[in-house]
Structure 1
Amino acid sequence: MVNDHLSLTFLGAARTVTGSKYLLTQGGHRRILVDAGMFQGPKRLREQNWEPFPTDPKTIDAIVLTHAHMDHVGYLPRLVKQGFRGPVYATEGTIRLAEIVLRDAAHLQQNEAEDARREGWSRHANPLPLYTTDDVEQTLPLFRAVEVHKPIDLDEGLSMRLWRAGHILGSVSIRMWTGADETTENAAVFSGDLGRHHHPVLADREVPMGAPSVLIESTYGDREHPAPGVAHEAFADLISRTIARGGNVLIPAFAVDRTEVVLLTLQELMEAGRIPKHVPIWANSPMGLAALDVYCDPAMAAEIGPEFAGRRFIHLPTLREARSKEDSIALNNPAQPSIIISSSGMATGGRVVHHLQHMLSDRKNSVVFTGFQAPGTRGRMLVDGATELKMYGRYVPVNAEILQDDEFSVHADASDLIDWLAEMNPRPTTVYCVHGEPDSAKALARRIHTELGILGVVPEQGEVVRL
């Protein structure tokens, strides 16, 4: 009899909200990696990106991606640099966005390593990037596009099927099983990052066929999103107040999905007369602009909500694009009060850090965070009330007004997650709460047990379980 039992090793996003990597081992020898995320946030996590990978990347047979955010795809070129040469399965939307994300990440890492070397603010004499643009170009040919809802043969009796997750364009949940019968109990579901019941732009999320073992994200496992009310009331009020006093509104936003949703929200607020209609809105993210083009591509129509499919849904008359480095530098001191959207969303790197360096000390300015801020990130420090922030080796006083608008979040909250599990058929027997800080993951595990009668487990980093 063929040994086809499945085991799982948690190599990332276990008791933390970053670095998603789950190694599925079939029959004790065949290895499939679900997601290849980069660790972000505190230094203790970022340093794990530089450690030897727990399994020789040459022995990984394939990688399957849930979506194109850095904490799910950002480690891919590093694995290729270390010898991985297998296929990388993902939806067409994820592949197109991942190409943008990875090229930008390599470019930023190379620039930051060079800046650190030239200006001497690194403790390393010759700081290096985690990977280069050459490593990314070696990675891209490995992508293999797969469709949602169709069974996909991963060889040696292992199969998978994908369902839309409603988080960002191309995002999916994954169900894997062994044997010819899809209803076999030798199966597992990986939620990926789940959207709320309804996304502002995308088609709604779906619930996969159930399995005995389910991995579910727990980013918001201990909290609920704000109750429906006047949409983005604090956000609109802050913009009007800041522009009136002659300041600028800086919005750190993830280039993929969040920039699109922020632009759509600003458009709706302007059309409703809730914020000034004359204010320039700068999209200072070449990656965000490239991602917007993908969202508006008619080829992606099946992924988009019916009200937006097949057309460019952003038509802001005051929208300006800052594509060059010179354009970005000019926005550190814009000619008139402006709204500036720049990545990254947690202010961990990219152009937004330069803007923070120049704008935080001025009381006229404001900074708006549009989603979850991981512990250890600059974004988390600011929303937690930091009075100074260190950037490029120097401290900057925080005098600008800070706001966190959780209405932008496209992560499912605790009740959304419970609803998703409750709809799953057949019902799971064990649910592993991942991709969340310890308190959040533990709170969700308790709710799963109390409300659904299912065993909820919060796995440790490096833990191995038999499925």
Structure 2
Amino acid sequence: MERLKIHFLGAAGTVTGSKFYLETNEVKILVDCGMFQGNKELRIQNWEPLPIEVSQIDVVLLTHGHLDHCGYLPLLVKQGFQGSILGTAPTLEIAKIILEDSAKILEEEAERANKEGYSKHDPALPLFDQHDVVATLKLFKSIEEEESIGISPHCSVRFRYNGHIIGSTFIEIDLFGKKLVFSGDVGRLKDDLLDPPKRPQWADYLFVESTYGDRKHPEEDLETILRELIQRTIQRRGTLIIPSFAVERLQSLMYLLWKLYDRNKIPNIPIFVDSPMGINVLEVFGRFPKWHKLAPEEYHNMCNHVTLVSSYRETWETIDDPRPKIVIAGSGMVTGGRVLTYIKQLADMESTSILLVGYQAEGTRGRDLLEGAQELKMFGKYVLIKANVQHLESLSAHADQGELLHWLEGVDNVPEKVFLIHGETETMSIFKAKIEEVFGWHTHIPKLHETVEILL
């Protein structure tokens, strides 16, 4: 009998900070290495060293390249990790883009805080910097989807397509004859850009995301909502600001708006994409055509239909452009990035609309807007919100309850235990009850920093 200790170091009782440490005498694996986002209590944990021997970790396995799954990697390396970081080629490209962009933003925020004196720390320091990212990227090693990779004599891993974003996978770990399956973030059954997720056929221990485990995405008429918002923007000669995640969501929005224009459903209103990271991700779509559904002609037409904003000078030129316009800018939860500048300058005007797309975590400005906040704190000051705020949930890249249950239906055996991760507490309680009702599986909701011991 082999003992396995599973340390839930993130995405336990919360949606962010995915980190799951598997510890045996033979091999030590970290599945995902995400940064905490959202409220201050969570973000503070990014500054704390992990409560494990980081130098003992043999390998990190990345399900995908989102910040809450890879953003802690530079800190892991600073704490002594020297092993390999494995993921699919698109995942590692996305992670590289996100880490480089995050380091730049963190450095700029620290510099701004020191200059304007609004930080409690003197001096304010970035969580990590470009040098830390360079050291991290040297450890990246790409893995083919569906390829079985030996990690140690009694351990092999396989990365399998699961939609969500380009390169994203769930991970099957065969460990001493038992199969552990980590869902990563499960994608949608119907997606404009991506194929439906594959499903695991066997799982002795199953670790399942539950972001939307308590609900089904609404059947929204995206076309009508967008047409009405664009018409309102044109009539009021205003700006439609769409805070967007740079990976997948931004490209989906570009595709959706281009298709509406191509079918003569909306006029040729200027569309500005202000996300250096999002522009880099577009190039990843160009380099990995087998990982998405866009034909080459569609991809090029979609890119040519928008104006790509690269410099901060162009950001201000876009703000000053008097024409009615659409601006898609990062970040999706309004936690940082270029979108803050647009909201700071334009959100106090009734001619402005803000369209939130997808999940807004607790403690983010996006959640505050969703809940009707009349002012937001940015750069140490409060900004008045007079803009019309709307929300689209059906553009989410996360499977809803029905789609998660469909994903679980692919499992032929009865798992020894199911662990619910990557969800808010109430959501996971509802999803736990649903899984037990539908499948009768033993389901557990781990707490942050909980350790579970299993005999293999």
TM-score by length of 1: 0.94
Bigger mean CA deviation after superposition, 3-12 or 398-407: 3-12
Aligned: 1:268 with 2:259: yes
Picking from 189, 195, 200, the partner of 2:187 is: 195
Question: Would the aligned equivalents of 1:235 and 1:405 in 2 still touch at CA under 8 Å?
Answer: no
Question: Would the aligned equivalents of 2:201 and 2:410 in 1 still touch at CA under 8 Å?
Answer: no
Q: Which residue of 1 aligns with 2:14?
A: 16
Q: Which residue of 1 aligns with 2:358?
A: 371
3-state SS, counterpart of residue 433 of structure 1: strand
Render the CA deviation track for 1:347-406: whole Å, top value 9, x for unaligned: 101111111111110000011111100000000000111011111111111100001111
Question: Would the aligned equivalents of 1:201 and 1:308 in 2 still touch at CA under 8 Å?
Answer: no
Aligned: 1:420 with 2:410: no
Aligned: 1:289 with 2:279: yes
Picking from 281, 290, 305, the partner of 1:302 is: 290
Q: Which residue of 2 aligns with 1:25?
A: 23
Aligned: 1:133 with 2:130: yes
3-state SS, counterpart of residue 349 of structure 2: coil
Q: Which amino acid aligns with 1:235?
A: L
Q: Which amino acid aligns with 1:216?
A: V
Post-superposition shift, 1:51?
1.0
Picking from 212, 217, 222, the partner of 1:231 is: 222
Q: In structure 1, list runs of 5 or more residues that go unmatched.
A: none
Measured in 1, the distance between the counterparts of 2:435 and 2:187 equals 18
Q: Percent identity?
A: 39
Question: Would the aligned equivalents of 1:176 and 1:188 in 2 still touch at CA under 8 Å?
Answer: yes
Aligned: 1:209 with 2:197: no
Aligned: 1:354 with 2:346: no
3-state SS, counterpart of residue 176 of structure 1: strand
Question: Would the aligned equivalents of 2:91 and 2:168 in 1 still touch at CA under 8 Å?
Answer: yes
Aligned length: 454
Cα distance 1:223–1:314, how it changes in 2: closer, same or farther (>3 A)? farther
Q: Which residue of 2 aligns with 1:98?
A: 95
Bigger mean CA deviation after superposition, 364-373 or 268-277: 268-277
Render the CA deviation track for 1:414-449: whole Å, top value 9, x for unaligned: 111111111112232321111011011111111000
Question: Would the aligned equivalents of 2:189 and 2:195 in 1 still touch at CA under 8 Å?
Answer: no
Bigger mean CA deviation after superposition, 353-362 or 110-119: 353-362
Q: In structure 2, list runs of 5 or more residues that go unmatched.
A: none
Measured in 2, the distance between the counterparts of 1:98 and 1:316 equals 22
Cα distance 1:144–1:313, how it changes in 2: closer, same or farther (>3 A)? same
3-state SS, counterpart of residue 294 of structure 1: helix
3-state SS, counterpart of residue 105 of structure 1: helix
Cα distance 1:313–1:406, how it changes in 2: closer, same or farther (>3 A)? farther
Picking from 212, 222, 242, the partner of 1:220 is: 212
Q: Which residue of 2 aligns with 1:243?
A: 234
Q: Which residue of 1 aligns with 2:77?
A: 80
Question: Would the aligned equivalents of 1:331 and 1:355 in 2 still touch at CA under 8 Å?
Answer: no
What are the residue-to-residue correspondences of 1:395-434 with 2, within 5 Å? 395-434=382-421
Measured in 2, the distance between the counterparts of 1:89 and 1:126 equals 35
3-state SS, counterpart of residue 134 of structure 1: helix
TM-score by length of 2: 0.96
Cα distance 1:200–1:427, how it changes in 2: closer, same or farther (>3 A)? farther
Q: Which amino acid aligns with 1:436?
A: G
Question: Would the aligned equivalents of 1:264 and 1:313 in 2 still touch at CA under 8 Å?
Answer: no
Q: Which residue of 2 aligns with 1:60?
A: 57
Q: Which amino acid aligns with 2:291?
A: E
Post-superposition shift, 1:313?
5.2
Question: Would the aligned equivalents of 2:29 and 2:57 in 1 still touch at CA under 8 Å?
Answer: yes
Question: Would the aligned equivalents of 2:254 and 2:302 in 1 still touch at CA under 8 Å?
Answer: no
Q: Which residue of 2 aligns with 1:156?
A: 153
